[in-house]
Amino acid sequence: MSNRRKFLNNFAPGISGIPFISIPEFLPGNQEGQPAIVKQSQDCEIFFVRENTPITFNISRTTDHVPVISLLTEELLPGSTIPAHKHLNNDEYFFFITGKGSMIVDENSFPFSAGTTAFVPKATWHEIKNTGDDKVILCFGYSPAGFEDFFREVGTPKGQEFTPKPKEEFDAIAKKYGMVFK
């Protein structure tokens, strides 16, 4: 445990009189000793899951060895939809950078525009629709990390001719990663 954590764990309760939750207990995914990661856009992997839908892997368990979270970016053309689905093993979070549309969570529809954030707990149905005239750019990720490898398996790396997976193969990969479609 770092000296600062030891100090806070031992000293803070005496100052406030309130029991102090230790940092490792409060952040179970805390990776003490994990090196910092700073990547330039040209260093990120890009896969296409549809012909015009690039997904950029900003932080990934596989390439960056971060087990607790992943961070990706996706572009959705006007009229595009990410169909209703749920993740059985991962929470998912979103930050919409540009564009506008609707996000359906369970049976509730929420409008989004640039700056909207969302958190979807595992086993919760969700769907995203680009209802605007412009491209939607969204940042999203998973906790724990790992689901992003689904896109590697179903997608085509940037620079190669896009080849969609046959439905049976796509469905088997989705099942492997705990993804269920409505």
What per-residue confidence (pLDDT) applies to 23?
37
Q: What is the mean pLDDT of each run of 10 residues along the chain (182 residues)?
A: 47 41 42 84 95 94 94 97 98 98 97 98 98 98 97 96 95 98 94
CA 64 to chain centre: 14
pTM score: 0.81
Count CB neighbours of 81 within 10 A: 14
Kindly report the backbone phi and psi dihedral angles of residue 27, in degrees, each rounded to the nearest multiple of 5, phi listed first.
-120, 80
CB 90 within 8 A of CB 151: no
- The domain over range 41-181 is classified in CATH as 2.60.120.10: yes
Residues of the chain with CATH 2.60.120.10: 41-181
Dihedral-angle region of residue 128 (phi above 0 means left; psi in -120 to 50 means alpha; beta otherwise): beta
What per-residue confidence (pLDDT) applies to 171?
97
What per-residue confidence (pLDDT) applies to 34?
80
> CB within 8 A of 63, min separation 6: which ones?
45, 57
